[in-house]
């Protein structure tokens, strides 16, 4: 833990282990195994035995498959049998930050995607960087393609590797501006449904003679976790289907010299009724902010009007009590929450003046004009053990 976490309100928080035990370090090890020059990050402290020795390396990222879910679920026996340990996610523990680390091989501090919503000074808007829409407008902006070149500055990992590269994504995001930009030179392959994922992966692998690296993404557990809760029957059923599909896939490709790494971008916790702080209920606090909250409802960035720091602190304490811990953004940056350097030139701008860290299982929510209320049973983005711990699963060749 960093010195900033001596505060009792943050004592239970988990920061990313960027020294060798995080998703970032997994990507550094994958880059090294696939012939990339590296970006100066430490590799995995304890890689699986034989890692990097196969002709084909597949990284399957299961959105929302936290270590806690895998440990307590009745389903998932095949995955548990091949689990090598656990890693931490990045900060914040959310798809926008973690998947961008996977696709670029760099820390959030470097790629600058600090949450589902971020203030992008390049375009002077609060945007959702994955779908590339302005907050409050649920459709990609007309200038989304141009925004890619301005908001996303790090080169794709695939462009640094010496292996043939592939990205296997659900059909509805495969050709999005975000995905096209971050896939780089990798060939993109869309799929539909769980069977389609593994049929596509098998086709890609069987058609390859030269060594390859394939990144595949599966997002159904995340969707169901948000809608029904991570402990729901819907999530358990999908995990059972996924576990069986991976076991069958591993058997089918047994002779192809393929190693498979399976992990997640984040875990989950459930947000029970009565544990939400809605900014609309606290107008005095809202009036001290110069723009909407950014980041995540489990880790939000507050932008305070000039000269209103004390007023903000007073009204925040009145609104949230002990439910949220405010951390000065510069302190979070110095403590390395977003990873080691180099820093994105707009990183400080993208994390605002204060980082608001709700206690487990609280969330803090605001709403902008044009934005529909969006209740979520399962949530993530924060620094709790359930959100931060992700499994490291390894299927060796054969």
Confidence of residue 202 (pLDDT cuts 50, 70, 90): very high
Domain spans of the chain, in order of start: 3-270+384-395
Average pLDDT over residues 177-203: 97
Structure confidence by residue, pLDDT tens digits, 219-254: 999 999 999 999 999 999 999 999 999 999 999 999
Judged against a pLDDT cut of 70, whether residue 300 lies above it is answered with yes
Average pLDDT over residues 292-310: 97
pTM exceeding 0.75: yes
Predicted local distance difference test score (pLDDT) of residue 4: 39
- Average pLDDT value for the chain: 95
Judged against a pLDDT cut of 60, whether residue 1 lies above it is answered with no
Residue 45 phi, psi (nearest 5)? -65, -35
Domain 3-270+384-395: give its CATH code. Answer: 3.40.720.10
Judged against a pLDDT cut of 90, whether residue 3 lies above it is answered with no
Confidence of residue 112 (pLDDT cuts 50, 70, 90): very high
Average pLDDT over residues 140-161: 90
């Amino acid at each position: 833990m960093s010195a900033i976490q001596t505060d009792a309100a943050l004592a239970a928080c988990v920061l990313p282990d960027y020294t060798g035990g995080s998703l970032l370090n997994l990507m550094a090890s994958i880059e090294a195994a696939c012939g990339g020059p590296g970006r100066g990050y430490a590799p995995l402290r304890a890689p699986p035995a034989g890692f990097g020795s196969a002709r084909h390396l597949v990284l399957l990222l299961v959105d929302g498959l936290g270590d806690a879910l895998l440990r307590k679920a009745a389903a998932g026996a095949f995955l548990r049998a091949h689990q090598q340990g656990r890693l931490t996610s990045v900060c914040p523990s959310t798809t926008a930050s973690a998947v961008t680390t996977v696709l670029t091989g760099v820390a959030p501090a470097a790629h600058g995607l600090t949450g589902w919503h971020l203030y992008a000074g390049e375009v002077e808007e609060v945007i959702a960087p994955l779908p590339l829409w302005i907050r409050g407008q649920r459709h990609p902006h007309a200038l989304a393609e141009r925004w890619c070149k301005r908001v996303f500055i790090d080169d794709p990992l695939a462009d640094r590797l010496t292996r043939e590269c592939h990205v296997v994504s659900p059909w509805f995001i495969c050709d999005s501006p975000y995905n096209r930009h971050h896939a780089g030179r990798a060939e993109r392959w869309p799929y539909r449904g769980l069977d389609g994922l593994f049929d596509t992966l098998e086709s890609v692998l069987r058609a390859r003679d030269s060594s390859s690296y394939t990144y595949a993404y599966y997002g159904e557990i995340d969707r169901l976790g948000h809608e029904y809760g991570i402990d729901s029957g819907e999530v358990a059923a999908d995990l059972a289907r996924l576990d069986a599909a991976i076991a069958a896939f591993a058997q089918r490709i047994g002779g192809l010299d393929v190693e498979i790494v399976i992990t997640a971008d984040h875990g989950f916790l459930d947000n029970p009724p009565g544990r939400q702080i809605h900014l609309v209920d606290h107008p005095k606090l809202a009036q001290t902010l110069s723009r909407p909250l950014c980041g995540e409802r489990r880790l939000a960035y507050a932008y305070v009007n000039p000269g209103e720091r004390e007023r903000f602190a007073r009204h925040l304490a009145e609104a949230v009590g002990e439910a949220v811990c405010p951390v000065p953004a510069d302190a979070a940056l110095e403590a390395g929450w977003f990873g080691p350097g180099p820093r994105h030139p707009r990183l400080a701008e993208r994390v605002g003046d204060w980082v608001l860290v709700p206690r487990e299982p609280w969330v803090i929510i605001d709403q902008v004009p044009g934005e529909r209320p969006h209740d979520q049973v399962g949530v993530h983005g924060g620094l709790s053990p359930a959100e931060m711990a992700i499994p490291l699963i390894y299927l060796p060749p054969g």
